[in-house]
Amino acid sequence: MKARQLWFTHPRQVEIREQALPTLSSGQLLVKSHCSGISAGTEMLVYRGQLPTDIALDATLESLQNQQTYPLQYGYACVGRVEQIGAAVDAYWLDKLVFSFQPHVSHFIATPDQLIVLPDDIEPEAAVFLANMETAVNLVLDGNPGLGERVVVLGQGIVGLLLSSLLAKFPLDRLIALEGIAERRTRALQLGVQQVFDPISADQVATLKQDLRLPVDLSATPGAGADLIYEISGVPEALNLAIDLCSYSGRIVIGSWYGNKSANIQLGGAAHRNRIKFVSSQVSTIAPELHGRWDKTRRFQTAWEMIRQVRPQQLISHRVALDQAGSIYEQLDQRPESVLQAVFIY
């Protein structure tokens, strides 16, 4: 059996390689991929050569632990069907539709603990969003939005849109998003965001600050600003806008992975004076204060339920063959406004 694999060979270069898979061991399974989702935020870091060199891509996923230099594989949202099982694998697994945190490949070998069986009522193209929906659920848990709070989401890529769709279910005072791409702003409103602003427009940002009753100086004004802000734009400089919009003793949850990108963040003014709390949210782990009530199994169950409610497959804009990888990554790089969610079909 040969598998067709997507490899990132150099910055802004990809190629499809065909590689023979080893014979199944007794405890392994062979999965034929049905579809896999491109996670544009992180995969653009890989494509553009913006990966950090001092940390694993993901310490909890076997396929991403030791890949920091080119050539490398990447991806973590693969849905497929189990075609063969080893002698020691329960027959239950044969022909099951499964999700796995695998790179973009036509076939792969895994063990049962690396696979998640799709619920019967979840379509493969909906299941491909499991990883990003799990991230959105984790962001909600880490931010802990409260009754009557004003919440702002910076960035309406796929994770931002999924997060906004979950936050729209809360009894908030207001749910606001900022996004530079018009199509994403429209989608945010469709998913329940009440106000959407273009962060590139100084006039719109000024209007937002006025709506939030933010003072012109650094003094804390009771009731002014956003209680909770999520920064998931992938742009480090956006943290300065988050600080500007934040209330006294407000929370800024940083869900973006910036790779090796950095920016000058203004921590000496309002961030210091107004006791702003910064929270780093990362889906590989669960916050220590939640360990007594939450584990990854419960988080996955919640993510599946949110997929049922949100139906994220509506966000797929491009379905492409693996052979078209070069063109779709170039499009994501050069014309990100033209792609909402791209999915490889095998």
What's the confidence (pLDDT) of residue 240? Answer: 96
Q: What kind and span of H or E run contains 37?
A: strand 29-37
**What value does the CA radius of gyration of the chain take, rounded to a whole number of Å?**
21
Please report where in the chains the tokens 């696979």 appear, as a residue: 115
Q: What CA–CA distances, in Å, run from 26 to 95, 106, 117?
A: 17, 22, 20
Domain residues of the chain, as ranges? 2-128+316-345, 132-280
Tokens of 232: 């998931």
Nearest to 281 by CA among 243, 255, 257, 300: 255
What's the confidence (pLDDT) of residue 31? Answer: 98
Tell me the pLDDT tens digit for each residue of 41-66.
Answer: 999 999 999 988 766 555 555 655 45
Please report where in the chains the tokens 């499809």 appear, as a residue: 16
User: Which CATH number does the domain 132-280 belong to among 3.40.50.11310, 3.30.479.10, 3.40.50.720, 3.90.1150.10?
Assistant: 3.40.50.720
Tokens of 96: 């099951």
Tell me the pLDDT tens digit for each residue of 187-232.
Answer: 999 999 999 999 999 999 999 999 999 877 766 677 899 999 999 9
Tokens of 170: 């809360």
Q: Tell me the whole-structure pTM to 2 decimals.
A: 0.93
Distance CA 225, CA 138 (A): 24
What's the confidence (pLDDT) of residue 68? Answer: 67
Indicate the average pLDDT of the chain. 94
Please report where in the chains the tokens 């998003």 appear, as a residue: 177
Please report where in the chains the tokens 């909402």 appear, as a residue: 340
Q: What kind and span of H or E run contains 193?
A: none
**Low-confidence residues in the chain, pLDDT < 70:** 54-68, 218-220
DSSP letters spanning 239-269: HHHHHHHEEEEEEEEE----TT-------SS
Length of the chain: 346
Q: Are 214 and 245 in contact (CB under 8 A)?
A: yes
What's the confidence (pLDDT) of residue 67? Answer: 58
Q: Do domains 2-128+316-345 and 132-280 have the same CATH topology?
A: no
What's the confidence (pLDDT) of residue 263? Answer: 86
Tell me the pLDDT tens digit for each residue of 97-127.
Answer: 999 999 999 999 999 999 999 999 999 999 9
Nearest to 44 by CA among 344, 339, 343, 333: 333
CATH superfamily of domain region 2-128+316-345: Medium-chain alcohol dehydrogenases, catalytic domain (3.90.180.10)
DSSP-assigned letter for residue 105: B
What's the confidence (pLDDT) of residue 65? Answer: 47
